[in-house]
């Protein structure tokens, strides 16, 4: 309950132009593009371009021509440059991102730069010139086929350059329409379910604990954590195919969507502070990195808050996370750590040493993480020693 001593609530909320959620709604893609005036679309998808065949066929039936751009790994500056060239030579007047987070992030960047003519490094944070993005690009529509990144509703595109992951960031990168169809998750393999699901869960917990949390992101995060906690193990164990998995598909799709909205408006924390640095230096799946770091992050943050901010709101929020994860009203911070560690073990996700990271790499990774923008929203500023403990526990 607010008291007269509490500061007044004040926040901004950035969301796509429209979100369409529900089974079968991918069939609305042609009508959405037509409403945006798109006649020739660049469809940015993953390594297996055949996954876009059905959507492209529906576009053709509606009189919308399309080209396809595969994104074979996490997008780089060169990936985006190549995509811009394809879009401009092909005369594309709109972009569809149909795939996981890599495809969606590449689609955002291509849609912007194909119209403005700028280079990615003109606007890229940290390793680029970081110039503000002042005008929108081509209209783009997001169609996620995994349930993890929430990129369909975020205003940044993560690109790799010179061994560093950094973002293009602007409200102009928000999708004009996000079509979230849970049925598109039906064919996901167990490893993808595990990695993307842990990414989504992290992107719900970190915004809830964030210094920039607000009443809207709190509500989104609570609901998303609850759905993820009840369905992620089931999805991994039983798969997402068939009518019997419809509720599980919906839970994971909702959790990912809500996580994207929460992080876009409240920020993240130490897990993602490390994840960008680790992902830029090692061939490690982003979701697996988040999974390995999440329980150590909760433990280290709990200790730091107990020592330096024992009366602050974040300690109560950690306890609330424990209640949401376990379903037990009496759960404690330690129960949250134990629950997450058990989940990661059940999903067969290894520690970071499996990706070649050793104790010798820890100092450089800690130094890089301290400069990451995600660290600014962590519930308490962590010391280098605490960050070292967190990363070492994740190996």
Digit-coded pLDDT (tens) for 176-196 = 999 999 999 998 999 999 999
Q: Walk me through the domains of the chain, giving residue ranges and CATH numbers.
A: 19-185 (3.40.50.1970), 190-394 (1.20.1090.10)
How far, in Å, CA of 21 to CA of 395, rounded? 38
- Give the span between the Cα atoms of 153 and 263, in whole angstroms: 10
CA distance 102 to 109: 11
Mean pLDDT in residue range 56-71 = 95
For residue 21 the two structure tokens come to: 């959620």
Note every long-range contact of 129-135, with CB atoms under 8 Å and residues 24 or more positions apart, other chains counting. Answer: 132/170, 133/168, 133/169, 133/170, 133/172, 133/173, 134/172, 135/172
The CA distance from 381 to 370, in Å, is 10
Report the distance separating Cα 157 and Cα 109, nearest Å: 6
> Which whole number is the average pLDDT over 325-345?
96
- Is residue 254 classed as helix, strand or coil in its secondary structure? helix
Phi, psi of 382 (to 5 degrees): -95, 140
pLDDT of residue 313: 82
pLDDT digits (tens, 9 = 90+) for 121-160: 888 887 778 888 988 999 999 999 999 999 999 999 988 8
pTM: 0.92
Question: In angstroms, what CA-CA distances link 120 with 125, 160, 172, 317?
Answer: 10, 11, 14, 38
């Amino acid at each position: 309950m607010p008291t007269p001593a509490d500061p007044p609530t004040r926040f901004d909320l950035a969301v796509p132009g429209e979100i369409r959620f529900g089974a079968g709604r991918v069939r609305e893609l042609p009508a959405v593009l037509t409403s945006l005036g798109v006649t020739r679309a660049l469809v940015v998808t993953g390594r297996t371009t055949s996954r876009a065949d059905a959507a492209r066929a529906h576009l053709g039936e509606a009189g919308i021509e399309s080209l396809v751009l595969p994104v074979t790994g996490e997008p780089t500056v060169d990936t985006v440059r190549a995509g811009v060239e394809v879009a401009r030579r092909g005369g594309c007047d709109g972009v569809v991102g149909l795939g996981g987070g890599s495809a969606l992030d590449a689609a955002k960047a291509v849609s912007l730069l194909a119209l403005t003519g700028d280079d990615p490094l003109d606007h890229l944070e940290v390793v680029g010139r970081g110039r503000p993005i002042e005008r929108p690009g081509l209209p783009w529509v997001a169609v996620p086929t995994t349930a993890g990144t929430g990129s369909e509703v975020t205003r940044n595109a993560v690109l790799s350059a010179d061994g560093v992951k950094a973002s293009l960031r602007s409200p102009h990168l928000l999708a004009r329409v996000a079509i979230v169809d849970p049925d598109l998750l039906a064919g996901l393999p167990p490893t993808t379910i595990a990695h993307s699901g842990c990414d989504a869960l992290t992107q719900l917990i970190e915004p809830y604990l964030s210094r920039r949390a607000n009443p809207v992101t709190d509500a989104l995060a609570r609901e998303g954590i609850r759905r993820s906690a009840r369905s992620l193990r089931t999805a991994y164990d039983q798969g997402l195919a068939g009518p019997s998995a419809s509720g599980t598909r919906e839970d994971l799709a909702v959790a990912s969507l809500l996580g994207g909205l929460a992080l876009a408006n409240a920020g993240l924390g130490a897990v993602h502070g490390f994840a960008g640095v680790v992902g830029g230096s090692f061939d490690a799946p982003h979701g697996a990195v988040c999974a390995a770091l999440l329980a150590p992050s909760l433990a280290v943050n709990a200790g730091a808050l107990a020592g330096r901010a024992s009366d602050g709101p974040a300690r109560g929020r950690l306890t609330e996370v424990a209640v949401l994860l376990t379903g037990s009203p009496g759960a404690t911070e330690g129960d949250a750590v134990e629950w997450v560690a058990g989940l990661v073990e059940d999903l067969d996700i290894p520690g970071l040493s499996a990706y070649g990271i050793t104790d010798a790499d820890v100092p450089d990774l800690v130094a890089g993480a301290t400069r990451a923008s995600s660290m600014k929203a962590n519930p308490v500023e962590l010391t280098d020693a605490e960050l070292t403990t967190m990363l070492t526990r994740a190996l």
